[in-house]
Chain A
Amino acid sequence: MLSIHGLAYSFEKEKPIFHGLTLDVNQGEFVSIIGTSGSGKSTLFKLVTGLLEPNQGDILIDGQKTGKRLGSVGYMPQKDLLLPWRTVLENVLLPLEVTKEHKQTRIPEIREWLSRFGLAEFEKAYPNELSGGMKQRVAFLRTLMTGKELLLLDEPFGALDSMTKRNMHKWLLGLWGELQKTVLFITHDLEEAILLSDRVYVLQAPGIKELKVNLPRPRSSQLIYQSEFLTMRKELEMLIHNEN
């Protein structure tokens, strides 16, 4: 789905953030990237979405080395970035407006998604009337509506309190089976990374390490209390500290 080979990038006159970075994401996979602040996670996303161009290396989406990547993946930034003057429904319609798709024919489908996201009664609400978790769900639905196979989620639950975050994990795990999407997910929460992902990449300048999460799906959020989860978590922490 996504493969990155020998990627190098540096901001002007600064030392490179990546050098020879290589990673792959297969179709239908949920892959997390964890790393300390400043390790370039968000920069990596900007490179994949096409907001930035690499100094060296290739970024292949769907096996294609497209010249213009903008508009080829669904990107959900850290902040919800909902437009305050638009209702929930209007916000979710934004990607369709950008690509000039016919909105009316998609509205029944969107309504169904809204109710599945627990937002049915909030269709006409404005973002300032929603809770933090709801805003993230709206932003996620907006990302889905781009209709792209590959979704890049940049710390979508980073700003939520731990209880809301737990609920969002439960919700996302329940949804995962029917989504049929490929996700690349940034986080610095180790528990979250293991719970949600098939594989975890640890990004520590200038290299990258990989951990396979061998836990069966479908998963429940209760998984975090089980011993194989704790073993996995220990393994991940070892991986991080070995690097130092």
Chain B
Amino acid sequence: MKTSLKKWTEDYGLFLLAVLLIVSGWEWAVREAMIPAFILPAPSAIWAALLENKQLLFEEHLPATLKEVLIGFGLSVIAGLILGVGMHFSRSIEKVLYPLLVISQTVPLIAISPIFIMWFGYSIWSKIAVTLLTAFFPIVVSTYDGLKTGGDEYRELLLTMGANRWTIFQKIQLPMALPAIFSGLKLSVVYCVVGATIGEWLGASEGLGYFSRRMSGNLQADSVFAAIFLLSMLGIVLFLLIGLLEKQVLKNKNRFN
């Protein structure tokens, strides 16, 4: 017990200390230097705004954003895995798709989002479309690249045993790609929060992005920061959850070397 506490302090102590210093410095600066609250609210004011709006934030806007993030992430995983595996199995698919995928990432979201609004209206699907567009790409790339690391030697060994492509995929390439795929998932889930927020900024009637936009219109910086704080927490929690899942799945797979 004592050693685990010690390890915990070693791992996170320095970070927490830094956060504490920054937050107190921030609080002090705002109070002493008289920075107007609509430019930079004090941490205590942000906390107060969070508590003040807690019902609205936790019961309406956070669930709305979470729903968009989860549906968007789910679709990103499905699309990303299918595209990554498809490109791995077929050179023609790869040749057609890879440039298109890269192009899809160079399109500025802000520019394309009015089109999403035209297609999907203010429904949840316009937000999910933005989320999907930001979040599927890391999964495709990590899946495709991960499957390539499978190693020719292992492939040849299985070929001499009479294995077909599917068996090699199942027994060697997929397990070897898992660490890379999980890196992609972790990136993607964070992007999902970003994507959902952007989608809400561009047109929505609920969600943390919508809330923060409305509050910024009212010059209520403390409420804007409160929403940002929640969004960042949401991203961190989802990231940690995927990390936990990764640890479970790769328990024996990280025995490389």
With A85-B253, A127-B255, A128-B255 given, is the CB distance from A97 to B160 under 8 Å? no
Are B171 and A98 in contact, CB atoms less than 8 angstroms apart?
yes
- Scan residues 234-257 of chain B and give those whose CB is less than 8 A from a CB of chain A: 252-253, 255-257
- B162 A99 Cβ-Cβ under 8 A: yes
The docked-state distance in angstroms from the alpha carbon of A98 to that of B253 is 20
Q: Which residues of B contact A77 (CB under 8 A)?
A: 153, 156-157
Residues of B within 8 A of A127 (CB): 255
Contacts of B157 in A (CB 8 A): 75, 77, 81
- Cα A81 to Cα B153 in complex, Å, equals 8
B229 at the interface (CB under 8 A from A): no
Residues of B within 8 A of A159 (CB): none
Which residues 66-85 of A sit at the B interface, judged by CB distance below 8 A?
70-75, 77, 79, 81, 83-85
Asked if A49 is at the interface of the complex by the 8 Å CB criterion, the answer is: yes
Contacts of B120 in A (CB 8 A): none
Q: Check B172 for interface membership: any CB of A closer than 8 A.
A: yes
The answer to whether B160 and A50 touch across the interface, beta carbons within 8 angstroms, is yes
In the assembled complex, how far is the CB of residue B217 from the closest CB belonging to chain A, in whole angstroms?
A: 53
Does B154 reach chain A (CB closer than 8 Å)?
Answer: yes
Distance (Å) between the CB of B96 and the closest chain A CB? Answer: 28
Q: B residues within 8 A CB of A83?
A: 154, 171-172, 175
What per-residue 1/0 map shows which CB atoms of B169-207 lie under 8 Å from chain A? 001100100000000000000000000000000000000
Q: Which residues of A contact B160 (CB under 8 A)?
A: 49-51, 70-71, 73-75
B159 on interface, CB distance cutoff 8 Å: yes
Cβ contact within 8 Å between A98 and B158: yes
Give per-residue flags for B146-163: 1 if the beta carbon is below 8 A from chain A beta carbons, else 0. Answer: 000000011011111111
- Assess A146 versus B161: contact at CB under 8 Å? Given A79-B153, A98-B171: yes
Residues of A within 8 A of B172 (CB): 83
A46, A85, A127 — most chain B CB neighbours (10 Å): A85
**Chain A interfacial residues counted at CB < 8 A:** 26
Give the distance to chain A from B86, nearest Cβ to Cβ, in Å: 24
A 40-78 to B, binary, CB cutoff 8 A, 1 in contact else 0: 000000100111000000000000000000111111010
Cross-interface CB contact of B161 among A79, A95, A126, cutoff 8 Å: A95
Q: Verify B162–A70 contact, CB threshold 8 A.
A: yes
How many chain B residues touch A (CB < 8 A): the figure is 19
B256 to A71, Cβ gap below 8 A? Answer: no
Chain A residues, CB < 8 A from B253? 84-85
Whether A94 contacts B161 in the complex (CB less than 8 A), given A83-B172, A85-B175, comes out as yes
* A77-B153, A79-B153, A94-B171 given; A85·B158 CB < 8 A: no
Contacts of A94 in B (CB 8 A): 158, 161, 171
Nearest chain A CB to B171's CB is how many angstroms away?
Answer: 7
User: B53 contacts the other chain (Cβ, under 8 Å)?
Assistant: no
User: How near does chain A come to B179, taking the closest CB pair, in angstroms?
Assistant: 11
| Nearest chain B CB to A51 CB, angstrom units | 6
Q: Are B156 and A51 in contact (CB under 8 A)?
A: yes
Report the minimal beta-carbon distance from A19 to chain B, rounded to whole angstroms.
Answer: 25
B252 touches A98 (CB 8 A): no
Q: How far, in whole Å, are A49 and B162 apart by their CA atoms in the complex? A: 10
Asked if B167 is an interface residue, CB under 8 A from chain A, the answer is: yes
Beta-carbon nearest neighbor of B161 in chain A: A98
Minimum CB distance partner of B250 in chain A: A85
Query: Closest residue of chain A to B167, judged by CB?
Result: A98
A71-B171 in contact given A77-B153, A81-B153, A128-B255 (Cβ < 8 Å): no
Question: Lowest 9 A-B CB distances belong to which pairs?
Answer: A71-B162, A75-B160, A85-B253, A98-B161, A84-B255, A49-B160, A98-B163, A85-B252, A95-B161
6 contacting pairs across A/B (C-beta < 8 A): A74-B160, A75-B157, A75-B160, A94-B171, A95-B161, A146-B161
Q: What 4 new A-B contacts, CB under 8 Å, besides A71-B160, A83-B175, A95-B161?
A: A51-B159, A73-B160, A97-B167, A126-B252
